[in-house]
Structure 1
Amino acid sequence: MIDRPLDLDAVRTFVRIAELGSFTRAAEALQTTQAAVSLKLKRLEARLGCRLLERTPRYVQLSAQGAAFLDHAHALMDAHERALAVFVEARQRLTIGISDHVAGPDLPALIARMNAQDPQLLIEIRIASSGDLLQAFDRRELDTVIVRQHLGRRGGTLLAEEQFGWFAAPGWQHRAGEPLPLATLAEPCGVRAMAGQLLDAAGQPWKEIFCGGGVAAVTAAVMAGLGVAALAPRMLPFGAVDVGPRLGLPALPRLPVLLHSRVKSGRPHQALGALAAAFRSAVRG
């Protein structure tokens, strides 16, 4: 019979590993070392008398006992947060700007991960172009921004580098002799400018066939068969095709994603750690 209380920090560590599927990502989210994460999990497993995770050099997955314990671990952490909330006089606010070319379909999962890290934190998120968000950050309207690398801008923490491609709908064909029809985001957009410059440098005639107010609109235009767009693969539904090699279009570079923040400590900083780890997991698959 288990007669000693569980270590809540160890339980939280187990939950993060299970959510992120990686000791490395869990360590990033908890802002600690991988060795510390491994030690806390080992102590929790010893405390419970069973193995919670099966791990090999290539993957981490829940054991049968770990899967059974996970819901209870979530409930325990939720009860802990509700107990602490009784003594919280005011919710802390964290304002984050995320580039539309960065957020994409992963945004709900990113928000959920931050909320799981700190349900009492009031999170405000603004979606816009990288340039607009950096200007708002400089005006101190935002605590943190996650953006594509911006020309002439230095600093920031590298979260990931993401490959782009020239994507079109399955079966889409370029009409011979006509300019390449391009679907883009409205200005200002660094990816839009980069795509145009690369096509011009390669001597590839092109015309803007669709201009969307967000990546979702551009993706819809692509899948509707209007033309081609320079996008990261994770932004598109399954089945979209990279037509760059077939059409001889210039290669697109890997584009860095950077985090700029004035938040250096406290609960908001911990929530940002969870967000950064979740984003890296989303990009790396």
Structure 2
Amino acid sequence: MAERPLDLDAVRAFLHIAELGSFTRAAEATRTTQAAVSLKLKRLEERLGCRLIERTPRSVELSARGAAFLDHARELLAAHDRAISAVTTARRRMTIGISDHVAGPELPALIARMNAQDPELVIEIRIGSSGPLLNSYDRRELDSVIVRLQSGRSDGELLVDEPFGWFAGPGWQHRPDEPLPLATLAEPCGVRVMAGRLLDAAGIPWTEIFVGGGVTAVAAAVMAGMGVSALAPRMLPFGAVEVGERLRLPLLPRLPVLLHSRVRDDRSRAALAALAAAFRNAARG
């Protein structure tokens, strides 16, 4: 008698747990509940006759059998997706806008997570400032956007509240008799506006010393010792120093990151949910 085939949904749940390191984030990626993910894993483990995941109060890790099964699980789902695509004539496309202050060094991993979820999805990503990206979304030029919270808007799904700080390069010193040199993104960057208003309200003189076309350029200016910038810690190269307390600069608030989306088909929503879960995982460290 032939053995029962593996449940592909259970295999996919196992992959999400293994790659995201969390039952909660696996549930987010599959748009289901933690209990449903746990049940799928339990059934898969019962079918295979071994434990795949070792769960402790503080961590989720692969067992030896789970590590051995991981690549085979990936190959199984990839073969399934290839079989589906062989009889599918049209490739779906999703256009996503991501704020430059949100798209950090983990962006390649986020794109890879979406591709792993749906290899047949054509992904188009545009990087820009939150305001213009939201305008493009409202004009239906983008299917989804991941941006900072904009005043006057209450829509969107909260992904994470991200901390911000005042950062400078190692060894940089401010001359007290000069305005604070600030490295910023070009207008209409909302973080730039926020930083300027907070400094003005605190009575701290400042001047723009560098204006970059992207966060990568601003971070490079910071590390080159040109001045200070208001940035999320995950956006900075190793070695950047938080100088807000030392210079008595105003406290920067945590800034929400939100997902706005109008995609409706199940496969596109699943790919977007995988992206959102991977982003939460990266942003929370």
TM range (shorter): over 0.9
Structure 1: 5+ residue stretches without partners? none
- Map Cα deviations across residues 182-231 of structure 1 (whole Å, 9 max, x no partner): 00000000000000000000001100000000000000000111110000
Displacement of 1:264 after TM fit?
A: 2.9
Q: Is the 8 A contact 1:167 1:228 kept in 2?
A: yes
Structure-1 residue corresponding to 2:228: 228
Could you tell me how far apart the structure 2 residues matched to 1:143 and 1:13 are? 26
TM-score, normalised on structure 2? Answer: 0.98
Displacement of 1:56 after TM fit?
A: 1.0
- Secondary structure of the corresponding residue to residue 25 of structure 1: helix
- Secondary structure of the corresponding residue to residue 58 of structure 2: coil
Could you tell me how far apart the structure 1 residues matched to 2:216 and 2:115 are? 24
Could you tell me how far apart the structure 1 residues matched to 2:124 and 2:110 are? 13
Q: Is the 8 A contact 1:13 1:26 kept in 2?
A: yes
Q: Is the 8 A contact 1:2 1:48 kept in 2?
A: no
Structure-2 residue corresponding to 1:22: 22
Structure-1 residue corresponding to 2:283: 283
Displacement of 1:265 after TM fit?
A: 3.2
Structure-1 residue corresponding to 2:98: 98
Q: Is the 8 A contact 1:98 1:128 kept in 2?
A: yes
- Any residues of structure 2 matched to 1:136-155 within 5 Å, and which? 136-155=136-155
Residue 177 (structure 1) aligned with residue 182 (structure 2)? no
Could you tell me how far apart the structure 2 residues matched to 1:266 and 1:89 are? 18
- Map Cα deviations across residues 218-260 of structure 1 (whole Å, 9 max, x no partner): 0000011111000000000122111000000000000000111
Displacement of 1:2 after TM fit?
A: 8.4
- Any residues of structure 2 matched to 1:160-239 within 5 Å, and which? 160-239=160-239
Could you tell me how far apart the structure 2 residues matched to 1:129 and 1:185 are? 9
Cα RMSD (Å) of the superposition? 1.1
Could you tell me how far apart the structure 2 residues matched to 1:183 and 1:71 are? 44
Displacement of 1:4 after TM fit?
A: 2.2
Identity of aligned residues (%): 76
Could you tell me how far apart the structure 2 residues matched to 1:265 and 1:160 are? 25
TM-score, normalised on structure 1? Answer: 0.98
Could you tell me how far apart the structure 1 residues matched to 2:176 and 2:150 are? 35
- Any residues of structure 2 matched to 1:70-149 within 5 Å, and which? 70-149=70-149
**Structure 1: 4+ residue segments shifted above 6 A:** none
Q: Is the 8 A contact 1:169 1:223 kept in 2?
A: yes
